[in-house]
Structure 1
Amino acid sequence: MRELLADALEVFDRHSGWIIWNLFLAFIPLVLSFWLFRRRSISRTWFWWIIYVIFIAFLPNAPYLLTDIIHLIRATRAGYSVWIITLIFIPLHLFAILSGLEAYVVSLINQNHYLRKEGAKQYIFLSEIMTHLLCAIGVFMGRFRRFNSWDLVTQPDVVLSKTLDDLTTKKPLLVIFITFIAITISYTLMKQVTFGLMLQFRRLYLGLDELDPEEIIKR
């Protein structure tokens, strides 16, 4: 048992130490989305726009956790006990990845709620696509160029030049496109799961039946 626990700690330190930090970064835009889009009275002041820019800058951290599947692959090939991999490592990583994706989904649901509230329902799909694209670029810059969200402030010139270089090069463009497709598909699937869970909750605990997704968002 002592050896098993020692292996578990080694696995976490070597392959899972990123989880707490990455989840923290992923939940920053989630928290900001409630302040930006879910308050009863929202005025788009200069302060609101500053928070919105911060929201956009940190939002790629949520779908970024999808790429952390590489840590799962590396650990399964590292020769650890099957019990460690099955009972600790896989559940832990899946939890982190799904939590990051759910934070992304709820953030965009809140944004969609705001657009609907402002009478801009027709722009919801376009805003989702543009957000997926921006996040795909952000994920690529974070995973392969190792930039952080705050680098937009600390070294904006470097981030801009590197981004422009990658957007005009075939291989980075291909990776960004694949990432965009992965984010779009994952978001679409998880969004339906989220709506289903919300609907089930309202039926069981609030006694509300036959609500469509738009009504779920409004309430």
Structure 2
Amino acid sequence: MKGLEELNIRIKLFLLLLLSAGTVCSLALGVYLRHHTGESIYLFLNWDMFLAWVPAGLALLLDMVFVYFKQPAAVRRLLLIVLGLMWLFFYPNSAYLITDMLHPFNYYHPVYGSFLIDIEFWYHLFLFFSAAMIGLFLGIYSLYSVQTLVSQAFGRIVGWVFAVGVLLLSSLGIFIGRFIRWNSWDVLSEPLTILKDTHFILTNAGQLRLLIPFTSIIFVLTLLTYSFVYSFTYLKRS
């Protein structure tokens, strides 16, 4: 069993290597655009991309603790809980990159004609599209990894309830990050303020008119993409 778990970790490391290559290519396009335009644009994407990688790193640490750290059991359990909570707080940062796709429409202004026939606009759009795809795949990777651990501990049904619940909470977290502008670490630094703001957006009619459709779209999008990729694991088993 341990040998199989170690093999799974090696496969996950290979997947992370592929995602690393995609991340480098995406950020390189950002470097090209800054050089091409002579402006310091989209530097925030470097930070957003780093935050998108944090849950993937934490998921890998959870795997390492689960496989290699067996004794003492109480310390192992505490490590899994702490890392699991950190992973949950940072998880929305992966799919959050989807919402960054609005920036080309805010920052790019064609010199002449329509932006649709200007190749520079497509460079801007492809930069954020590639970042969004990497964010989605990082989210899928880390959720699959953690769901597998939950399923091993509590069963497959609990594992899927956990996964759907995480995606729902993540959709709300993405809304809070995009519109209320809170960050993952604010959960520890200003938890009462976050609870107050969350209560406000959940009880304010004006906020709900934006919250409900926005979080619903993000939830359906992430759930469908996650379920689609997850289904390939069944093809492999069959």
TM-score, with structure 1 as normaliser: 0.76
Closer, same or farther: CA 171–213 of 1 in aligned 2, 3 Å: farther
Alignment correspondent of 1:181: 216
- The amino acid that maps onto 1:68 is D
| C-alpha distance in 2 between matches for 1:214 and 1:175 | 40
Letter in 1 for 2:88: I
Equivalences for 1:66-145 in 2 at 5 Å? 66-76=98-108, 78-79=109-110, 82-86=118-122, 88-145=123-180
Aligned-pair identity (%): 23
Between the two proteins, the alignment pairs up a number of residues equal to: 195
- C-alpha contact (below 8 Å) 1:136/1:176 kept by paired residues: no
| Separation in structure 1 between the aligned mates of residue 100 and residue 45 of structure 2, nearest angstrom | 9
Q: CA offset at residue 17 of structure 1? A: 1.8
Name the SS of the counterpart of 1:149 in structure 2: coil
Counterparts of 1:48 and 1:113 in 2: how far apart (Å)? 14
Whether the 8 Å contact between 1:65 and 1:96 is mirrored in structure 2 is yes
- The one-letter amino acid paired with 1:28 is V
Aligned to 2:67, what secondary structure does the other structure show? coil
Partners of 2:182 and 2:139 lie apart in 1 by 19
Contact 1:166-1:173 within 8 A present in 2 as well: yes
Who is 1:208 aligned against? none
Greater helix fraction, Structure 1 or Structure 2: 2
Residue 27 of structure 1 corresponds to which residue in structure 2? 53
**1:139–1:56 Cα change, 3 Å:** same
Name which structure has the greater RCO, CA cutoff 8 Å, separation 6+: 1
**CA distance 1:97–1:178, change in 2 (3 Å):** same
Q: Which runs of 5+ in 2 are unaligned?
A: 1-32
| CA distance 1:97–1:116, change in 2 (3 Å) | same
